[in-house]
């Protein structure tokens, strides 16, 4: 009996109810854990709900602001750009232009606020059959007035109030006089515009291929020298100087568009091409002579010899005269190509397309000198200075 009692008291076996208690404990822990997870999910759901609410409200606000801004932009674009500005601008609509392209032109010429709105407006209102041509427009016009004008057709050539003819080889000073004489506009205003950096930069933005090199040039008198193409331009009453000059620059860009690839493939830039072309323009008369003279200039440049063009001296002096004297060669100017090597700061006048083509397609030769008979305009070439001096003596100094 004693032994049995000892064994019961010291037994390590669990009581019969212990497994059941353990299961209840685990169930209680599971319920607490599940309750905790549910509580955590509810918290997360509340956070997510708040974030979604904030995002939705933000999108609604942004959408509302964007919608309101768009509404204001479209509404303002349907009105005249500037009802108080009745200054006339001549707008050129090329043949085959779509309504979208016309809208872009009108926006670029500052006639309307938005070309895109103009395009949709014409579609919604069935405005079509627009005609190519030149139109006198102002920022004070409504879209309906513009549409009606485009349907009726542009101006006839004889409707221009004046015609401005810029001769080949004219410099900016001479062009200013020509414009003033033909239109009655002030020459001083023209020259002031030529020095307006803001105006130049607006053209640079519009014609980067043409004017980038000119924008980097140092020591130039006028950045647009050489870029006002020699041609005849229509002038209309109320047309601004900016509009007229822009048309001249645009013509130069259109001409050079045929040569940009060749210029980019050469060692020259646009500024240098026009600088040489402006010298070739005045030094030679025939296409053949211009191409030969262009090569003479390249031969001189290759050996670092000054171009020695009298045209550069006259430009440096700011004079237009028939003879250049030895004292003139001493003029202190970066345009003096007797003293300075290279192309000079930039063009000396507005060259013709033939002169430009001569620079880009010269006739190969080994000449370093040339002289023209003043009476016959025939050009004589020489490889050495001695040969040249003899030709000068024969055809210049000893002429009757």
The whole-number average pLDDT for the span 265-277 is 96
Residue 18 has pLDDT above 70, yes or no: no
Q: Under DSSP, is residue 127 helix (H, G, I), strand (E, B) or coil?
A: coil
Q: Average pLDDT of the chain?
A: 86
Domain boundaries, the chain: 47-77, 89-158, 266-397
Query: 3-class SS at 234?
Result: strand
Which of 53-62, 239-248, 381-390 comes out lowest in average pLDDT?
Answer: 53-62
Q: Could you read off the pLDDT of 183-231 as tens digits, one per residue?
A: 999 999 999 999 999 999 999 999 999 999 999 999 999 999 999 999 9
Q: Which long-range contacts (CB under 8 A, 24 or more apart) does 313-322 make?
A: 313/337, 313/338, 315/171, 315/348, 315/349, 318/173, 320/174
Residue 16 has pLDDT above 60, yes or no: no
Main-chain dihedrals φ then ψ at residue 165, nearest 5 degrees: -105, 115
Of the two residues 338 and 27, the one the predictor is more confident about is: 338
Residue pLDDT, tens place only, 38-84: 777 777 667 666 777 777 777 778 777 767 777 777 788 888 989 88
Q: What percent of the chain has pLDDT over 90?
A: 56
Per-residue pLDDT tens digits for 301-358: 999 999 999 999 999 999 888 788 889 899 999 999 999 999 999 999 999 999 999 9
The hierarchical CATH code for the domain 89-158 is: 3.30.1490.480
pLDDT over 50 at 179, yes or no: yes
Q: What is the pLDDT of residue 102?
A: 93
Confidence check: pLDDT of 155 > 60:
yes
Helices first, then strands: H and E counts in the chain: 16, 6
Of the listed ranges 14-28, 125-139, 230-244, the least confidently predicted one is 14-28
Supply the pLDDT for residue 29. 66
10 Å Cβ neighbour count for 203? 22
pLDDT digits (tens, 9 = 90+) for 282-315: 999 899 999 999 999 999 999 999 999 999 999 9
DSSP code of 395?
I
The secondary structure element, H or E, covering residue 256 is: helix 241-256
User: Residue 399 has what pLDDT?
Assistant: 65
**Which contiguous run of DSSP H or E holds residue 146?**
helix 143-152
| Angstrom distance (rounded) from CA 167 to CA 230 | 5
- Residues 91-100 pLDDT 10s: 888 877 889 9
pLDDT of residue 374 exceeding 90: no
The dihedral sign for the CA sequence 333, 338, 341, 346: positive
CA dist 239 and 366 (Å) reads: 50
Give the pLDDT band (50/70/90) at residue 157.
Answer: low
Least confidently predicted of 67-81, 160-174, 238-252, 349-363: 67-81
* pLDDT score, position 398: 75
Mean pLDDT of 121-146: 87
What local confidence, expressed as pLDDT, does residue 319 receive? 85
CB 168 within 8 A of CB 230: yes
Reply yes or no on whether the pLDDT at 117 is more than 50.
yes
- How high is the pLDDT of residue 387? 94
Q: Please classify residue 106 by burial: count the beta carbons closer than 10 Å to its beta carbon, then call 0-12 exposed, 13-18 middle and 19+ buried.
A: buried
The residue to which tokens 């309906």 are assigned: 144
- Using CA atoms, how far apart are residues 183 and 191, in angstroms rounded to an integer? 15
């Amino acid at each position: 009996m004693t032994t049995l009692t000892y064994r019961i008291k010291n037994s390590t076996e669990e009581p019969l109810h212990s497994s059941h208690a353990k299961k209840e404990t685990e169930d209680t822990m599971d319920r607490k854990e599940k309750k905790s997870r549910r509580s955590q999910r509810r918290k997360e759901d509340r956070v997510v709900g708040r974030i979604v609410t904030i995002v939705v409200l933000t999108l609604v606000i942004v959408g509302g602001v964007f919608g309101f801004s768009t509404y204001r932009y479209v509404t303002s674009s349907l009105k005249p750009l500037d009802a108080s500005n009745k200054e006339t601008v001549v707008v050129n609509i090329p043949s085959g232009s779509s309504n979208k392209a016309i809208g872009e032109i009108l926006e670029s010429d500052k006639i309307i606020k938005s070309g895109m709105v103009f395009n949709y407006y014409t579609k919604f209102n069935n405005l079509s059959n627009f005609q190519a041509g030149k139109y006198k427009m102002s920022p004070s016009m409504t879209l309906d007035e513009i549409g009606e004008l485009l349907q009726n057709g542009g101006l006839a050539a004889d409707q221009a109030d004046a015609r401005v003819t810029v001769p080949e080889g004219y410099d900016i000073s001479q062009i200013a006089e020509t414009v003033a004489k033909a239109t009655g506009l002030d020459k001083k205003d023209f020259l002031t515009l030529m020095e307006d950096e803001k105006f130049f930069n607006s053209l640079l933005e519009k014609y980067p291929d043409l004017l980038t090199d000119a924008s980097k040039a140092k020591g130039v008198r006028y950045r647009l020298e050489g870029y006002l193409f020699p041609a005849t331009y229509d002038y209309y009453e109320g047309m601004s100087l900016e509009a007229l000059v822009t048309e001249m620059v645009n013509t130069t860009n259109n001409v050079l568009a045929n040569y940009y690839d060749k210029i980019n493939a050469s060692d020259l830039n646009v500024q240098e091409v026009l600088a040489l072309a402006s010298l070739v323009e005045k030094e030679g008369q025939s296409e053949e002579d211009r191409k030969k003279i262009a090569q003479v200039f390249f031969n001189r440049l290759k050996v670092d010899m000054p171009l020695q063009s009298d045209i550069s001296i006259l430009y440096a002096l700011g004079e237009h005269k028939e003879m250049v004297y030895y004292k003139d060669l001493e003029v202190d100017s970066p345009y003096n190509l007797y003293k300075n090597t290279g192309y000079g700061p930039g063009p000396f006048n507005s060259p013709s397309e033939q002169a430009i083509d001569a620079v880009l397609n010269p006739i190969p030769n080994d000449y370093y000198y040339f002289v023209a008979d003043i009476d016959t305009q025939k050009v004589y070439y020489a490889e050495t200075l001695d040969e040249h001096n003899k030709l000068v003596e024969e055809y210049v100094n000893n002429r009757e």
